[in-house]
Amino acid sequence: MRILLACAALLSVALPVAAQAQTEAAAEATANASVASPASELRVGTVLSTADGRRVGRVSRIYKSKDGTPVSASVIVDGRFAIVPISTITAKNKSVATTTLTLAEIRKLK
């Protein structure tokens, strides 16, 4: 009888702790999903345009760091490659992205 009471007491303490741990893990996963990088939808072939709506070109390559996060995107502008920093790009969806740079600024990039 004492063993059953001890087990019941342990379960009454352990179950709420386990439930709370699951809730915290789910909240953390949701928070991490919403903190995705602005260019997480960026793909090769995505059309890049400037903030004022001018078309720059299609993304031909995405350069990544050692940990796999995108660092920059290569776009052909006026017959040459321009490497645009990912920090300036916001992907609207898988086929359209916008950069905060102007077309003149992108032309100066190498």
Q: Give the list of residues 6+ apart from residue 99 with CB closer than 8 angstroms, or none.
A: 48, 49, 50, 51, 56, 84, 88, 89, 90, 106
Per-residue pLDDT of the chain (110 residues; tens, 9 = 90+): 777 666 566 667 665 655 555 555 555 554 444 344 466 778 999 999 998 899 999 999 999 999 999 999 999 998 999 999 999 999 988 889 999 999 999 989 87
pLDDT given for residue 32 in this prediction: 46
pLDDT given for residue 93 in this prediction: 84
Element (H, E) at 93: none
Cβ pair 106, 77 in contact under 8 A: yes
> End-to-end distance of the chain based on CA atoms, in angstroms?
79
